[in-house]
Amino acid sequence: MMKHTSRRSFLGTAASAVAGSAVVPSLVSAFPAPAVLRSRASKFAAVSSANGIRGVARAVELMMSGIDTLDAAVEGVKIQELDPNDNSVGYGGLPNEAGVVQLDASCMHGPTKRAGAVGALEGIKTPSEVARLVMKYTDHILLVGEGAKRFALSYGFQEVDLLTPESREAWLRWRANRGKDDDYLDVPRGEDVGARVTGTINMNVTNAKGEISSITTTSGLSWKIPGRVGDSPIVGAGQYCDNDIGAAGSTGRGESCIMVCGGFLTVEHMRQGMSPTDAALETCRRAVAMSAPRLLHPDGQPNYGLTFYAINKAGETGAASFYPSRYAAHDGNEATIRDTAYLFPRR
Which residues form the interface with ligand ASP (CB under 6 A)? 198-200, 218, 220-221, 230-232, 251-252, 254
DSSP 8-class letter at 187: -
The residue among 163, 150, 52, 173 whose CA lies nearest residue 102 is 163
Residue of minimal Cβ distance to ligand ASP: 254
Pick between residue 44 and residue 322 the one whose CB is nearest to ligand ASP.
322
User: How far is C-alpha 144 from the chain's CA centre?
Assistant: 18
> In the bound complex, what is the minimum distance in angstroms from residue 45's beta carbon to ligand ASP?
22
> In the bound complex, what is the minimum distance in angstroms from residue 22's beta carbon to ligand ASP?
47
Pick between residue 251 and residue 312 the one whose CB is nearest to ligand ASP.
251
> In the bound complex, what is the minimum distance in angstroms from residue 87's beta carbon to ligand ASP?
11
Q: Report CA dihedral (338, 51, 268, 332) to the nearest 10 degrees.
A: 60
Say whether 200 is catalytic.
yes
Pick between residue 56 and residue 103 the one whose CB is nearest to ligand ASP.
103
Sheet holding 341-342, edge to edge: 239-242, 246-252, 306-312, 317-321, 341-342
Helices (H) and strands (E) in the chain, counts: 11, 13
Determine contact, residues 310/49, Cβ cutoff 8 Å: no
Pick between residue 33 and residue 79 the one whose CB is nearest to ligand ASP.
79
Q: Which of 198, 200, 218, 266 is catalytic?
A: 200
What does residue 302 show for φ and ψ, rounded to 5 degrees? -70, 145
Determine contact, residues 316/248, Cβ cutoff 8 Å: no
> In the bound complex, what is the minimum distance in angstroms from residue 49's beta carbon to ligand ASP?
8
Return the active site residues. 200
